[in-house]
Amino acid sequence: MKTKLLISLFATLFIFGCRSNSFDRESKFEAEKSESTTMLDEQGSTPVPPSESNANVDKKIIKTAYISVEVLNYANSRKLIDSTLKKYNAYILSENLQNTETQISNSINIRVPAAQFEELLAKLAKMAKRVDYQNIETQDATEEYIDVQSRLTNSRKIEQTYLKLLRKAGSIEDILKIEQKLGEIRTDIESTEGRIKYLNHQVDYSTINLNVYQTIEYRYVPDKQPNFFQRLVKSLDMGWKGVVTFLLFLIRFWPFWLILATGWFGWKYYVKLRKQHKKDEKKRKKILKREAQEEQNLLH
């Protein structure tokens, strides 16, 4: 009896110890998951303070210039512009050429390394006959760059935390929830990295919006006219084509003409019958009158 009691006591203690260890692991997992979720929520709802490394980031300045120049000869100036851009490692992003009777103009969007921005701008101004206007705008993107960098650093830390949770997860439900959160975090990381690349490119390459044009003296140039014989032949040809077109237009209504012709012939036939009927009636009356007169003469 005592042996059975001891066995039961040891079994109870063993089961209670296992459950206690399992409960401790689950509590620790839930606490870590709750902490990671709180970190993710705080990252999306509150601004992230810059770290010490980010505080020493160089100034991120985005430069944009607007310049309009008049040149003596557009073709020669365009060749000079292309060679100058090649010299300063710049490239054309877009352009819009317009050629009218009084002006040749082209709006060119240029991207140039920031270190060569001022020098290239000065070269473009020197090749002009006249500079209409020149404006330079700067945008300080340092604060945004630091915020984006901090966001990226924190997102990567949270990603590592969730990866640790994923290795410790014991149920399929927990694994699915963690993978969903990891997907959201990685999407945010990719978006943040894309923004950093964009800011770096905007800072590394400045923009010059160049409008270059050549003024052309207006000259009236009369249109060349064909000689009289050519115009006569053209008029005859157009007249004949007009007649053919008119005839073809009338032929399109052949059912109407057929009905009209049938009606006209029917009317003519009706009129002819009426005339013949009247003629026969008069003839008959004359015969009757003559017979009546002959009878009267015989009686006398």
Indicate the Cα dihedral angle 158, 161, 167, 168, nearest 10°. Answer: -130
pLDDT greater than 50 at residue 98? yes
Which residues are CB-contacts of 211 (< 8 A; sequence separation ≥ 6)? Answer: 67, 68, 69, 105, 106, 107, 108, 132
What residues does 62 pair with on adjacent strands?
139
Average pLDDT over residues 20-38: 47
User: Longest C-alpha distance within the chain, in Å?
Assistant: 182
Q: At 16, is the pLDDT very low, low, confident or very high (cuts 50, 70, 90)?
A: very low
State percent of the chain over pLDDT 90. 41
- pTM over 0.85? The answer is no
Query: Residue 90 above 70 pLDDT?
Result: yes
Q: Cβ contacts of residue 57 below 8 Å, gap of 6+? A: 142, 145, 146, 149
State the pLDDT at residue 286: 82
Across 243-267, average pLDDT: 88
Q: What local confidence, expressed as pLDDT, does residue 300 receive? A: 63
- When pLDDT is cut at 50, 70 and 90, the band that residue 57 belongs to is low
Kindly report, residue by residue over 185-203, the tens digit of the pLDDT.
999 999 999 999 999 999 9
Give residue 26's pLDDT.
47
Buried b vs exposed e over 80-117: b needs ≥16 C-beta within 10 Å? ebeebbeebebeeeeeeeeeeeeebbbebebbbeeebb
Note the pLDDT tens digit of each residue in 162-185. Answer: 888 888 888 888 889 888 988 999
User: Which residue, among 74, 80, 93, has the nearest Cα to 212 in the 3D structure?
Assistant: 74
pLDDT digits (tens, 9 = 90+) for 114-125: 999 999 999 999
Q: What is the mean pLDDT of the chain?
A: 81
